[in-house]
Amino acid sequence: MTEHIQYDATRQVLVLLDQRKLPCHEEWFDCRTTEELIYALQTMVVRGAPAIGVTAAYGCHLIALEVAKETGSSGNWRQTLRDRLHLLKNARPTAVNLAWAVDRSVAAWDAQADLELAPLAALWLEMAIALHAEDLACCKSIGRFGGALLQDGDTVMTHCNAGALATAGYGTALGVIRGAIDQGKAIKVIANETRPFLQGARLTAWELHRDGIPVTIACDNACGLLMRRGMVDAVVVGADRIAANGDAVNKIGTYGVAVLAKQHGIPFYVAAPLSTIDRATPTGDHVPIEDRTPREVTHVGDVQICPDGVPVFNYAFDPTPAELIAGIVTERGVLTAPYADSITRVFAEAARDAAGIVDEME
């Protein structure tokens, strides 16, 4: 699949495949400014926690360039830069990778506080390119570990889009499916349509069909029937944030799918990189849930489908309790219950490995 996040160094612009236009039109959206970056994030030109993180990393670089053009690297550019990074960090509240990517860039700046604006912008570009490659590698590792959980001939249900479009490429939930196929297994996919923004019907089906992976779209409210009829062997979803206790926050409707899977004895897996695990958030109920514009519910495109004046709930995400999750597939393996323990353990292992790499370098 064409890379949907591209940095054009010649024009100094981040070029994003506009996911609002899919599947019927492949159009591109250019980001150069803080305003354009926030617009792209809030209107879901780009969406999916890892993809949001990669976009934010490039965004730090672009904002540094923007501030340099305005201030000429003189005056109080540092405060202006911090203020705009704060705006970027808070563009959307639920996906933790957004804040994580901005904080990572700020930490690198704080470690070299005397850097002038031009070298800082260059540093952030290097970091963004590295993060882009890192996320792709993470997804492929998630695919290897998760693919081993699926059996040859399985039909896998997924909810929303946690594929190449939601990451740097390959995908998390769809990475598990791709990983199983790479292991020689025949896998079919049921993509829940995922109302109201239809990420499953528009995006998951689009990228799987392009890759020749058998996919069938199902209405969200058909999940129970399909499971009862034995048409689903496993459920694999992504996550926008995973709490310290293993609760996973994903697209609205995921909780209901997990409850149905539990009722029917179907394993329910969450696939996400470690960067999506927020150890500072104790449970899923502590995660801020984005409440989006009613128009996404009242209209399909430009066609109004609801009566005027009727209130709308448009919560974009819901938390799935850890007890409904059979495993959390990460780039370092499959975490199992009790998740508070396995999450603590995997981060300790990652820290030890990172320290070992540093020691070797020294």
pLDDT in tens, 203-256: 999 999 999 999 999 999 999 999 999 999 999 999 999 999 999 999 999 999
Model confidence pLDDT, tens digit, residues 97-133? 999 999 999 999 999 988 999 999 999 999 999 999 9
Is residue 74 over pLDDT 80?
Answer: no
* Helix, coil or strand: residue 270: strand
The whole-angstrom distance between residue 349's C-alpha and the CA centroid of its chain comes to 23
Rounded to whole angstroms, what are the CA distances from 251 to 94, 192, 240, 291, 315? 10, 11, 8, 12, 9
pLDDT of residue 85: 97
**66 Cβ contact partners less than 8 Å away, ≥ 6 residues apart:** 32, 33, 34, 84
Give the annotated binding-site residues.
47-49, 92, 199, 250-251
Q: Judge if the upstream peptide bond of residue 282 is cis by omega within 30 degrees of 0.
A: no
Q: What is the number of other CB atoms lying within 10 angstroms of the CB of residue 4?
A: 23
Rounded to whole angstroms, what are the CA distances from 88 to 8, 69, 100, 307, 317? 20, 18, 11, 35, 20
Confidence of residue 357 (pLDDT cuts 50, 70, 90): low
Question: Identity (one letter) of the amino acid at 78?
Answer: R
Please pick, among 135, 154, 220, 240, the residue that the annotation labels catalytic: 240
Q: Which of 76-90, 175-189, 344-358 has the lowest mean pLDDT?
A: 344-358
Confidence of residue 1 (pLDDT cuts 50, 70, 90): low
Percentage above 70 pLDDT, the chain: 97
Nearest of 226, 220, 164 to residue 192 by alpha carbon = 220
**Residue 240 catalytic?**
yes
pTM score, whole prediction: 0.90
**Rounded mean pLDDT of 278-295?**
96
Question: Identity (one letter) of the amino acid at 175?
Answer: G
Q: Say how far apart CA 209 and CA 235 lie, in whole Å.
A: 19
**75 Cβ contact partners less than 8 Å away, ≥ 6 residues apart:** none
CATH 1.20.120.420 fits 5-139, yes or no: yes
Give the annotated binding-site residues for substrate.
47-49, 92, 199, 250-251
Confidence of residue 359 (pLDDT cuts 50, 70, 90): low
Q: Are 234 and 266 in contact (CB under 8 A)?
A: yes
CATH classification number, 143-359, choose in 3.40.50.10470, 1.10.1780.10, 3.30.390.50, 3.20.20.80: 3.40.50.10470
Provide the CB-side half-sphere exposure for 29 (13 A, CA): 24
Q: Say how far apart CA 179 and CA 174 lie, in whole Å.
A: 8
Domain ranges of the chain: 5-139, 143-359
